[in-house]
Amino acid sequence: MDHLYSYMPGVPDASLRRALTLTDLALVILCYYAHAIMAMLPRTFFFRVALLPVTLWLTWTSAVTLDVAQYLVNTLGLAVDPLRIAHVNFIWILAMWSVALKSFEWTFIIKKPIRRYETPKDGEPLKERPLTVANISLDAADLLFNHRGLGWSWSSTPFPLNPSPPPSILKQFLTLVVKVTAFDGAHYLLQLSRPSTYRLEGDTIFDETLSPLPRLLLTSLICLSGMIIIYTSVEIMYHVSALFGQVVFGQSAAQWPRIANRPWLSTSVTEFWGERWHQFFRHLFVVYGSRPGRKIAGWHGSIMGAYTVSAVMHVWGLWGLGRGTGFGHTGWFFIMLGVATILERQWRLWTGRAVTGMPGTLWTVAWQLTWGAGMVDEWARRGMIANDFIAKEIRIGKALVDIVLAIVAKIRTV
């Protein structure tokens, strides 16, 4: 199963990809931007249908034939093996996936033109922005990157309430520094815990030389570190975007509500993924998984449909690392999250009590570690842990961990 997609018709082996060019990038963006403009305007269905095959072909070929890591190495003159930054290809494939699905939605699924709202004042009703040339140009650009519907008619909550006052630029910057440090520190701890995973060819996170209990503890530490890495990576990208929008474009902090809500406080799997984890791809999971699944199998189909789309997306992104892929542990991790959501609902129906409190927290951690270990192992075997996410010269987290370890070592020798 490791090289399933490498042998599928029309999908070349990842090692045969060529470096991305600016022309490749421009073609995809232009088609995507044209779809966004037409999605806002009436009587554009024919033009959207005509453009869609071109957009889908471009996103498909861009995903399977282009290597962003190689482009960065060539353009920036980086003295690094492209496999050390292969995570950018994972991100690239997710981006192409998103462009394709959103373009398809804007062509066939939306019932009427989608519009952007003026930011309302207290007590005022929502008001659509006028369709001027300037507004259309700027709003279409916003639509390209707006995955949560903030300020748009296609969202059920275009202006979510935030009980906390918007943070200052300084506070956001300090938060960004903290999360970069946590990201790097967790990555370094993972590498220290299992050094063999830092090899380009990757390795398993399961140390067969250890007895069962130490092996379980080591695997749990690695999985928790992996969760911190994933959580902080999304937060870092969001904070960078938020700061850029506010400093360069003069946007308010209120336009950038937090993307996640302290997922470590979750007391159920449902709460973790449905409310506290980032909701960046939620709309696509609903449109292409939850809604069709509900029509097929009601509420259960809705849940499993959403998690199935999430599973396929992550599995396909994994192919971008250049080591083949299959549905494997990564796919089954997300499927089993859907199963956990169904089990929690059944528990409430059987007992009349929701999954919550400390038992709920323990259940949430245990379930996700059980199924997540296989996913982290799959990523480690494909060299993701060996990726250099941050330049060695500015690894703040690594430096901090080294200081702590040095202090601990000194204390032990006293």
Report which of 159, 82, 83, 153 is spatially closest to residue 123, judged by C-alpha positions: 159
Task: Please state the rounded mean pLDDT for residues 180-184.
Answer: 96
Contact 183, 236 (CB under 8 A): yes
Confidence of residue 6 (pLDDT cuts 50, 70, 90): very low
Return the pLDDT at 3.
43
End-to-end CA distance of the chain: 53
Return the pLDDT at 412.
85
Tokens 């399961």 appear where?
206
Contact 219, 230 (CB under 8 A): no
Grouping H, G, I as helix, E, B as strand and the rest as coil, residue 47 is helix
Q: What's the length of the chain?
A: 414
Contact 364, 263 (CB under 8 A): no
Confidence of residue 163 (pLDDT cuts 50, 70, 90): low
Task: Please state the rounded mean pLDDT for residues 138-145.
Answer: 94
Return the pLDDT at 5.
43
Confidence of residue 10 (pLDDT cuts 50, 70, 90): low
Reduced DSSP (H G I as helix, E B as strand, rest coil) percent helix, strand, coil of the chain, to 5: 70, 0, 30
How far is 310 from 341, CA to CA, in rounded Å? 15
Task: Please state the rounded mean pLDDT for residues 73-93.
Answer: 91
Contact 301, 293 (CB under 8 A): yes
Residue 290 lies in a domain: no
Confidence of residue 121 (pLDDT cuts 50, 70, 90): confident
Task: Please state the rounded mean pLDDT for residues 314-342.
Answer: 88
* CB neighbour burial string for 270-308, b if at least 16 within 10 angstroms, e if fewer: bbbbbebbbbbbbbbbbbbbbebbbeeeeeebbbbbbbb
Give the tens place of pLDDT for each residue, 193-213. 999 999 888 899 999 999 999
Q: What is the pTM of this model?
A: 0.91
Higher pLDDT, 13 or 147: 147
Task: Please state the rounded mean pLDDT for residues 273-292.
Answer: 94
Residue 268 lies in a domain: no
Return the pLDDT at 16.
81
Number of domains making up the chain? 1
* CB neighbour burial string for 334-352, b if at least 16 within 10 angstroms, e if fewer: bebbbbbbebbbebeeeee
Tally: H helices and E strands in the chain: 13, 2
Between the alpha carbon of residue 314 and those of residues 16, 166, 225, the distances in Å are 21, 32, 19
The region of weakest confidence among 2-11, 173-182, 217-226, 316-325 is 2-11
Phi and psi at residue 116, to the nearest 5°? -95, 145
Report which of 151, 167, 170 is spatially closest to residue 159, judged by C-alpha positions: 151
Task: Please state the rounded mean pLDDT for residues 156-163.
Answer: 81
Residue 234 lies in a domain: no
Strand ranges, E, within 127-241: none
Confidence of residue 156 (pLDDT cuts 50, 70, 90): confident
Grouping H, G, I as helix, E, B as strand and the rest as coil, residue 161 is coil
Residue 349 lies in a domain: no
Whether the per-residue pLDDT at 323 is higher than 80: the answer is no
Phi and psi at residue 152, to the nearest 5°? -120, 155
Whether the per-residue pLDDT at 90 is higher than 60: the answer is yes
Give the tens place of pLDDT for each residue, 284-302. 999 999 999 999 999 999 9
Return the pLDDT at 194.
93
Confidence of residue 314 (pLDDT cuts 50, 70, 90): very high
Residue 10 lies in a domain: yes
Task: Please state the rounded mean pLDDT for residues 400-411.
Answer: 92
How far is 333 from 243, CA to CA, in rounded Å? 33
Grouping H, G, I as helix, E, B as strand and the rest as coil, residue 399 is helix
Task: Please state the rounded mean pLDDT for residues 31-48.
Answer: 97
User: Is residue 19 exposed (0-12), middle (13-18) or buried (19+ Cβ within 10 Å)?
Assistant: middle
What distance lies between CA 132 and its chain's CA centroid? Answer: 34
Return the pLDDT at 326.
66
Residue 133 lies in a domain: yes
Task: Please state the rounded mean pLDDT for residues 177-191.
Answer: 95
User: Is residue 127 exposed (0-12), middle (13-18) or buried (19+ Cβ within 10 Å)?
Assistant: exposed
Confidence of residue 7 (pLDDT cuts 50, 70, 90): very low
Percent of the chain with pLDDT over 70: 96
How far is 4 from 392, CA to CA, in rounded Å? 34
How far is 216 from 408, CA to CA, in rounded Å? 24
* CB neighbour burial string for 136-172, b if at least 16 within 10 angstroms, e if fewer: beebbebbeebbbbbbbbbbeebeeeeeeeeeeeeeb
Task: Please state the rounded mean pLDDT for residues 373-388.
Answer: 92
400: tokens are 């901090």
Supply the range of the domain harboring residue 124: 1-154
Residue 40 lies in a domain: yes
How far is 49 from 270, CA to CA, in rounded Å? 37
Task: Please state the rounded mean pLDDT for residues 53-78.
Answer: 93
